């Protein structure tokens, strides 16, 4: 029997579950690093392909290594036809995250090497998943809109190819770069719920597909990846800068949470929110509709920071991402799938790192029920 005096850590907050070198979050100072590199520097100078290599391999690639890796990703972009058939067989109004979760699970069924749980297999299959999840994500949207699926273009970058498959036209260099930065910023973030879910599944020596499917199910929730869609919906509901005061009065009176404000680890600004705010400002300068949404967001941000300062709640990564994605012509229902596409790189890196130190996760629950009861036959109840 477990020691009943042990403290229950709700949500496993700040509980250490493994050793890691992949990324680190300094919540007190608002710093995020991948393998020791500051996310501010990576967003300014790196690409998603380079960042993916960094997360898994531990070092920035040489020019030759990066060229080879980019080609490997490009060569693996074509999704299995059976996966596309599964997507087409499901209702068109299914949320894209539900379709993505189901598609990745189906993908595993097409792989004869699915059951291989060696580190080498995790890395090889993981690279294929990183390459193909963008193709699958774009196909999900095209199919849901009764549009033809667009085959990947190996001549384009990861970010550029995703936008091309999603929208049907090749993006400008500026738009491509914005998507690249977004993918870099979402690639990893220590051990949130989705990453932990993937690790829990993999700790039983399940296949990579099962682990990523578990992560997708966790990311789908509104308290995790689904928050970015909620932020934009909330900004739309406010409707105008002049309505921010009334909305905040309701927040104060009813003690409401504001989507995109606050983080379990950061006690100051999420550095990714700082990056995204600058990108959102750039997009707002180009388009009146984006400028209106951005104005609401910044006005709301100012009031939230003041209202929640005693609780150390500030904008997180979700707060401005929707403003950016909408300015690129992307529907809100695709915001969390984009998060998932990027985070697959981090999930794979975590699984590859954890496997050699693997131990099956087996937490305990503090039992508070009856201690001894006599069974009574159904005729006497």
Q: Which tokens is 253 given? A: 């009176």
113 is catalytic: no
What's phi and psi for 32, nearest 5 deg?
A: -125, 130
186 is catalytic: no
Note every long-range contact of 141-150, with CB atoms under 8 Å and residues 24 or more positions apart, other chains counting.
Answer: 141/96, 141/166, 141/331, 141/334, 141/337, 142/166, 143/84, 143/87, 143/88, 143/92, 144/92, 144/93, 144/94, 144/96, 144/99, 146/92, 149/84
Q: Which tokens is 236 given? A: 């739309």
Distances (CA, A) of 353 to 196, 362, 368: 13, 19, 37
Distances (CA, A) of 167 to 145, 193, 226, 241: 11, 31, 22, 31
Alpha-carbon span 229 to 227, nearest angstrom: 5
DSSP tag of 264: S
Alpha-carbon span 320 to 235, nearest angstrom: 10
318 is catalytic: yes
Residue whose structure tokens are 């966790």: 218
**How would you classify residue 93: left for phi > 0, otherwise alpha for psi between -120 and 50, otherwise beta?**
alpha
Strands of the 31-34 sheet, one edge to the other: 23-26, 31-34, 37-38
Q: Of 188, 189, 224, 270, which residue is the catalytic one?
A: 224
Q: Which of 343, 331, 336 is nearest to 167 (CA)?
A: 331
Alpha-carbon span 283 to 177, nearest angstrom: 13
Alpha-carbon span 314 to 38, nearest angstrom: 20
**How would you classify residue 36: left for phi > 0, otherwise alpha for psi between -120 and 50, otherwise beta?**
left
Q: Of 180, 186, 263, 270, which residue is the catalytic one?
A: 263
Is residue 279 within 8 A of residue 324, CB to CB? The reply is yes
Q: Of 188, 207, 270, 318, which residue is the catalytic one?
A: 318
Q: Give the residue numbers marked as catalytic.
A: 224, 263, 318
């Amino acid at each position: 029997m477990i020691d009943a005096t042990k403290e229950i850590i709700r949500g496993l907050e700040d509980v250490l579950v493994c050793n890691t070198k992949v990324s680190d979050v300094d919540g007190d100072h608002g710093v995020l690093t991948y393998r020791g590199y500051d996310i501010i520097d990576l967003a300014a100078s790196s690409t998603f392909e380079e960042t993916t290599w960094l997360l898994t391999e531990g070092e920035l690639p040489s020019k030759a290594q990066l060229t080879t890796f980019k080609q490997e990703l490009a060569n693996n972009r074509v999704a299995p036809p059976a996966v596309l058939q599964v997507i087409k067989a499901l209702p068109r109004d299914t949320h894209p995250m539900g379709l993505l979760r189901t598609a990745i699970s189906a993908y595993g069924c097409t792989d004869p090497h699915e059951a291989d749980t060696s580190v080498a297999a995790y890395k090889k299959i993981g690279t294929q998943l990183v390459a193909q999840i963008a193709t699958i994500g774009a196909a999900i949207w095209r199919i849901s809109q009764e549009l033809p699926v667009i085959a990947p273009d190996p001549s384009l970058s990861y970010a550029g190819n995703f936008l091309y498959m999603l929208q049907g036209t090749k993006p400008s260099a500026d738009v491509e770069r914005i998507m690249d930065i977004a993918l870099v910023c979402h690639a990893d973030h220590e051990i949130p719920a989705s990453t932990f879910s993937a690790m829990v599944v993999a700790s039983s020596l399940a296949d990579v597909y099962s682990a990523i499917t578990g992560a997708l199910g966790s990311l789908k929730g509104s308290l995790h990846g689904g928050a970015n869609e909620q932020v934009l919906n909330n900004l739309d509901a406010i409707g105008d800068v002049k309505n921010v005061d009334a909305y905040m009065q309701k927040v104060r009176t009813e003690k409401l949470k504001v989507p995109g404000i606050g983080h379990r680890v950061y006690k100051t600004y999420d550095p990714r929110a700082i990056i995204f705010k600058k990108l959102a400002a750039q997009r707002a300068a180009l388009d009146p509709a984006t400028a209106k949404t951005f104005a609401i967001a910044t006005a709301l941000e100012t009031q939230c920071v003041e209202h929640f300062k005693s609780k150390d709640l500030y904008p997180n990564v979700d707060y401005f991402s929707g403003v950016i994605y909408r300015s690129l012509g992307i529907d809100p229902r695709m915001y969390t799938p984009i998060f998932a596409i990027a985070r697959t790189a981090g999930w794979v890196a975590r699984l590859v790192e954890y496997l050699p130190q693997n131990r099956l996760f087996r937490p305990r629950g503090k039992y508070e029920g009856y201690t001894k009861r006599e069974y009574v036959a159904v005729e006497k109840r």
